[in-house]
């Protein structure tokens, strides 16, 4: 899972890391369910990495609401790359 290696070098506590992994999984499910071309094998790895980095960035800025983090990540991906 692309978010785990990125979190290994973060200063988040274990509980927050667990939450961020769950947020990543929820965000990725939303991308897959949307039918976006970014969920296709050709784009999957890059799209997952972008979502993971956005979740971490927003968490570093202080956002902790799982729903907000997931929505923001999916929206960011859509705005930037769809």
- The 10s digit of each residue's pLDDT in 20-50 is 999 999 999 999 999 999 999 999 999 999 9
Long-range contacts of 39-48 (CB under 8 A, 24+ apart): 45/2, 47/77, 47/81, 48/1, 48/2, 48/3, 48/24
The tokens for 12 are 């988040």
Local confidence band at 82 (pLDDT 50, 70, 90 cut-offs): low
41 φ, ψ (degrees, to nearest 5): -55, -30
Residue 31: which domain range?
A: 3-81
- pTM score, whole prediction: 0.90
Q: Can you give the C-alpha Rg of the chain in angstroms?
A: 12
For the cut 90, the answer to whether the pLDDT of residue 4 exceeds it is no
Q: pLDDT value at position 1?
A: 63
Q: Are 77 and 47 in contact (CB under 8 A)?
A: yes
Number of compact structural domains in the chain: 1
What pLDDT is recorded for position 23? 98
């Amino acid at each position: 899972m692309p978010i785990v290696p990125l979190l290994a070098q973060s200063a988040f506590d274990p509980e927050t890391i667990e939450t961020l992994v769950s947020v990543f999984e929820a965000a990725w499910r939303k991308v897959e369910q949307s039918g976006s071309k970014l969920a296709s094998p050709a784009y999957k790895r890059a799209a997952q990495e972008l979502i993971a980095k956005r979740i971490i960035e927003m968490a570093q800025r202080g956002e902790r609401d799982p729903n907000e983090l997931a929505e923001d990540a999916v929206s960011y991906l859509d705005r930037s790359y769809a």
